Amino acid sequence: MTPELMEAGSLARERMAEREARGEGRIARRARLLRELEPDFGQGVALYLDDITVSFDGFKALNALTLQILVGELRCIIGPNGAGKTTMMDFITGKTRPDAGRCFFGSTIDLLRLSETQIAQAGIGRKFQKPTVYEQLSVFENLELACKGDRRVRASLLSRLSGEQLDRIGEVLALIHLKTEAQRAAGRLSHGQKQWLEIGMLLMQDPKLLLLDEPVAGMTDEETERTAELFLSLEGKHSLVVVEHDMKFVEQLTEGRKKVTVLHEGSVLAEGLLADVQGNDKVVEVYLGR
């Protein structure tokens, strides 16, 4: 997809929104806003970053970064400490604003015009490195809260779940290997299980794009392997961007056929099959050789 095509899609949508905005009521307005957050994946592109620069006091954490993630793709991003991997996730989710560049979700949503909340509503879910679950609540209750999306814990736990929501919780519990732990307090889970629970909470919102920052850091080998299986089972249904230093994990995810991206000093240093980038002299010099 070209930037021009995306720009055209975005402009057409804006004009339509302006027409609709004239003479509409509050409910219609809300419905329109929600519709505007519905991404269009018709072009096959989930995320498009074009020439993005993010700087902190003049230091460019991202430097003219250009990247494209396809719908349903599982893309691993590797690179040395300080390469800009986390900053990239910060700006995709609206936490940090770039100085320059463009960023589209699907072919019509210009992410730079949306707030953090709207970006999440549009279907971008993010997993931070440290698990953040409600320790006192059970695994089930954590998932329950995530699917209701109501931040008031008590109100949310008192309201009833629909049959559909219950089914979804059951599905997610199976996916994250926590079916037998459903009634256990989240605080009593292992580090790896907490990470899965948090991923499960993200999945309750049915995100179209999942951003996962060092998801297996601190996990045992067995947990790491299971996490790779989980991500592979999500591929296709969701687009996934996985940042990791654990090369064995990356190898398992790429299955010898998927593209990986190497970031260095805020830009793409190399992109291609893992075996090819591992043999790339520049990559060995800045990252893998050390």
Ligand X SMILES: Nc1ncnc2c1ncn2[C@@H]1O[C@H](COP(=O)(O)OP(=O)(O)OP(=O)(O)O)[C@@H](O)[C@H]1O
Buried b (16+ CB within 10 A) or exposed e, 44-75: ebbbbbbebbbeeeeebbbbebebbbbbbbbb
Residue 81: name its binding partner from ligand X, Mg ion, none (Cβ under 5 to 8 Å by kind): ligand X
Residue 84 binding target from Mg ion, ligand X, none, CB below 5 to 8 Å by type: ligand X
Nearest distance in Å: CB 263, ligand X: 6
Give the H/E segment covering residue 191.
helix 191-204
The C-alpha atoms of residue 284 and residue 290 are separated, in whole angstroms, by 8
Give whichever of 61 and 172 is closer to Mg ion, judged by the CB atom: 61
- The binder of 192, among ligand X, Mg ion, none, by C-beta within 5 to 8 A per type, is none
Count other C-beta atoms under 10 Å from residue 164's C-beta. 9
Residue closer to Mg ion, measured from CB, 63 or 156: 63
Residue (9 or 215) nearer to Mg ion, CB:
215
H or E element that contains 117: helix 116-121
* DSSP category for residue 98: -
Q: Which residues bind ligand X (CB under 6 A)?
A: 56, 61, 79, 81-87
**Amino acid identity for residue 169 in this structure:** I
Minimum distance from residue 55 beta carbon to Mg ion (Å): 17
CB of 54 to ligand X, least distance (A): 8
Q: Residue 83: which of Mg ion, ligand X, none does it interact with, CB under 5 to 8 A by kind?
A: ligand X
For residue 224, give the amino acid letter.
Answer: T
The Cα 144–Cα 3 span in angstroms is 40
* Cβ proximity to Mg ion, 92 vs 189, nearer residue: 92
Minimal CB distance to Mg ion: which residue?
86
Decide: helix, strand or coil at residue 51.
Answer: strand
Q: How far is the CB of 213 from Mg ion (least distance, A)?
A: 6
Smaller CB distance to Mg ion: residue 60 or 148? 60
Q: Which does 117 bind (CB under 5 to 8 A by kind): Mg ion, ligand X, none?
A: none
